[in-house]
Amino acid sequence: MDARTAGGPTQGSAPTSGVSAAFDEWVLSTDDPLTDYHPAFTGNGRLAARVPAAGNGFAEAPVRTQFHVAGFYTGRGGGWSRKASLPAWTTLDVSDGSGSFNDAFSSVRETEEQLVGGDWAAVTRPEAGAARGIERYRQSLDLRTGVITTEARWTSPAGRVTDVRYQVLTDRSRPHVAAVTVTVTPHWAGTLVVTDTLDDRAASRTTPARQGAGAGRIWTVTEAEGSGIVAAVVSVLDAAGTAPPRPVEEGTAAWTVTVRALPGHPCSFTKYVSVVTSHDADDPPGAARAHADAAARAGYGRLADDNHRAWAREWEGDIVVRGDARLQRQVRASKFYLLTSVREDSPWSPSPAGLSSDSYNGHVFWDTETWILPSLLAQHPQIAESVLDYRVRRLDAARAYASDGGHGGARFPWESGLTGDEDTPAWAPFGRLEQHVSSDVALAFWQYWLATGDERWLRTSGLPVLSAVADFWTSRVTADAEGRCHINGVIPPDEYAEGPHDDSVYTNVAARAALRFAARAAETLGQPADPRWTDVADRLVIPFDQAQGIHPEFTGYEGQRIKQADVVMLAYPWENPQPAEVSRADLEYYVPRTHEDGPSMTDSVHSIVYAELGDAKAAFEHTRRSVEPFLRPPFEQFAEARTGGAFTFLTGHGGFLQEFLHGYSGLRWRADRVVLAPILPDPLDGIALRGLRWRGRVFDIDIRHDGTTVRLHAGEALPVEAAGQLHHVPAGGEVRLASRTPVADR
């Protein structure tokens, strides 16, 4: 029987709109699944999948494929909660009876090593290709839609040749829905078997699943260990024109369909998947069944169109880099990966690796507020609000944490998981001592207020958090005999300085700013501010070495090597009021003292501060340093460090994007205007920031060597300050500004 299902996509309906990946700047692709290959990743902000070289299913290497859904945490057994992983829901294998397509990939590395020791070009030669079973391979990720397409010609152990094409879609328009389709074109006649599976090998930190097949579906229901959070995964297989699927084995989440294969006749099969947790519904299995059934009724074409439209709305906020095609791909990939793990209707904060893996146990750090959020806020304030809602909902836990330490107000934990309790492993000192995280949260809340002007939010969410952080610092400081206030016994952002140390300059500057944010927020709302907030802020000690003209990292700092950006962050993002020569002196002192194998976001801060100082050449050098050693081919994903670490590292992607959104533009938020200081490095022809949003306005910034244009697309006139002058961009109009001349060219 020829199984041409109406639900599966055809070549003409591919999300790449028929444009060849080789010539499409939005598509990342590879023809080599072995050499320096790192598997693709996609998500819709609520659920996500790591897709292996085979284009579907589960693989242990080279990176374990994990399947995550937001909020699926274990309990705090052992002292902290952890992210749990779902069964692999993308498996849709095809077989001719002598072997399967996925089997051909399961031994890919073993065979490759035996045959040619790592040379994919050699294994695809005719004499090796037959042994390998895979030829004409290509895998691609369309950044416009998040669809991952994998194509190959497969020769089975019986010598039958079949063209196989997979697409994996996580539907941005339907937060609980994904789809996997396989189109099979046999060059032989016989029996073709397609197997739909929910593969438990990918699951981790979950109780044994209740699973089965029947009533047109396969399903699995499991719980995260110790927390009682339930996750239900349901798959509906569209195989019109075939006999009903048969369960592989009773009590398993797998079934097969068998069809008659005809030479040259393509057969398409689509599985519609839904993932629902007990955060989302009182009856996760029932809700998952309903979502999967509705997706199957809609069909793949409808899902693909809706997903494309949803992503198109997100891509209204674009960053265009002119004159460097590779850098353009890197920028767009970075934005894509941020969006895979966040959405505006999901009150979950991304961990450093987002939904791509359980790195750092899936915990939330200052990475979110300091590195990730600013790159969302500039173009996606609705998503930024959802991310901040994670902290709002855990304010009571932060109050309890401060109280447990003998302090007032709210202290946010260094690592946060399900509940908002301190989830840092007990062996690490950072949970006890790296307390600047509360100020980092406050900065993100203040930036959101500046960017949106949402007084309702400020009243109900912003001020409660800002005032609680201010109360914490008021109770946390120690006054000396002269009345000066100190913050003793902490670890600064530089984690090599485990300390504890007194008067970390970053911690003190951040605490001073947080205290003032609370006072200004209360004043904005016409509410009384605690006078202690500004009093303590004015008396906080800010260490400064007059002889060297720099800020020492902490009291007693003697120039030892540091792990990552610390003092240089006073200039950005904190905008500490300090002369430009101090910012430059801090850079020149700390850059050579920063560990060359430190995390990726350090160079992004260095780039932004150099741009602020007008040194476009140094800024661009650090842009290169902030991205090239960290990106992993072929899909431009950040690793945490040059040598490895967390992957896919959203913190690195977020820091990298800030170089364009806030570095070369000089974009800074104010309550009554937008501040710009545009500058363009010589190697680039231009940078365009599209779909920026500030207090109801939507505008673009187009930076060129001969000038910068600000265009206002929506909202009232836009007040813009540049070079000390205030301009007003009229509704529907534009204003031309001078681009700064790099210091080396003056």
pLDDT in tens, 648-705: 999 999 999 999 999 999 999 999 999 999 999 999 999 999 999 999 999 999 999 9
Instruction: Choose the weakest-confidence range: 71-80, 94-103, 107-116, 319-328.
Output: 107-116
What residues does each domain of the chain span?
11-36+47-314, 316-383+626-746, 394-595
* Banded model confidence at residue 597, pLDDT cuts 50, 70, 90: confident
Return the pLDDT at 474.
Answer: 98
pTM: 0.94
The SS3 call for residue 399 is helix
One-letter amino acid for residue 271 of the chain: K
Domain 394-595 CATH (choose: 3.40.50.300, 1.50.10.10, 3.50.70.10, 2.60.120.10): 1.50.10.10
CA angle 499, 502, 505 (to 5 degrees): 105
651 within 8 A of 643, measured Cβ to Cβ: no
Convert the pLDDT of each residue in 331-386 to its tens digit: 999 999 999 999 998 999 999 999 999 999 999 999 999 999 999 999 999 999 99
For 191-230, the pLDDT digits (tens) are: 999 999 999 999 999 998 899 998 889 999 999 999 999 9
Reading the block at residue 583, the tokens are 């910012």
Whether residue 585 has pLDDT greater than 50: yes
The fold adopted by the segment(s) 11-36+47-314 is Beta-galactosidase; Chain A, domain 5 (2.70.98)
What is the average per-residue pLDDT within 54-73?
A: 95
Superfamily, domain 316-383+626-746: Maltose phosphorylase, domain 3 (2.60.420.10)
**451, two tokens:** 């960017």
| Range with the largest mean pLDDT of 417-431, 545-559, 637-651 | 545-559
pLDDT score of 121: 57
Name the active-site residue from 495, 612, 640, 659.
Answer: 495
3-class secondary-structure state, position 31 = coil
User: Looking at residues 389-408, what average pLDDT do you find?
Assistant: 98
H-type alpha helices, 549-627: 580-590, 601-612, 616-627
Specify whether the CB–CB gap between 99 and 158 falls below 8 A: yes
d(CA 403, CA 393): 18
Question: To which H or E segment does residue 141 belong?
Answer: strand 134-142
Number of H helices, E strands in the chain: 21, 29
Both tokens of 437, joined, read 């995280």
In this structure, are residues 211 and 88 in contact, taking their beta carbons and an 8 Å threshold?
no
Report CA 319 to chain centroid distance, whole Å.
Answer: 16
Quick one: which H or E segment has residue 172?
none
pLDDT in tens, 624-649: 999 999 999 999 999 998 888 899 99
CA distances to 170, 197, 437, 444, 543 from 89, in Å: 11, 7, 36, 35, 54
* pLDDT interval class at 107 (50, 70, 90): low
- The pLDDT of residue 23 is 66
The DSSP bridge partners found for residue 720 are 674, 727
- CB within 8 Å of 578: residues ≥ 6 apart: 570, 571
CB 181 within 8 A of CB 300: yes
Q: What is the pLDDT of residue 547?
A: 96
Q: Is 495 one of the annotated active-site residues of the chain?
A: yes
Percent helix, strand and coil across the chain, each to the nearest 5: 35, 25, 40
- Is residue 96 within 8 Å of residue 192, measured between CB atoms? yes
Residue 251 near residue 209, CB atoms below 8 Å: no
Contacts of 705 (CB under 8 A, 6+ apart): 680, 682, 685, 686, 739
- The whole-number pLDDT of residue 119 equals 55
Pick from 140, 106, 110: nearest CA to 123: 110
Whether pLDDT at 11 is above 60: no
SS3 category, 162:
strand
Q: How many other CB atoms sit within 10 Å of the CB of residue 294?
A: 15
Q: At what angle do helices 284-298 and 300-314 cross, to 10 degrees?
A: 100
pLDDT at 241: 66
Element (H, E) at 180: strand 177-186
Give the per-residue pLDDT at 587: 97
The enclosing H or E element of 64 equals none
E-state strands within 555-696: 631-632, 637-641, 644-647, 668-669, 674-676, 686-694
* Amino acid 110: pLDDT: 57
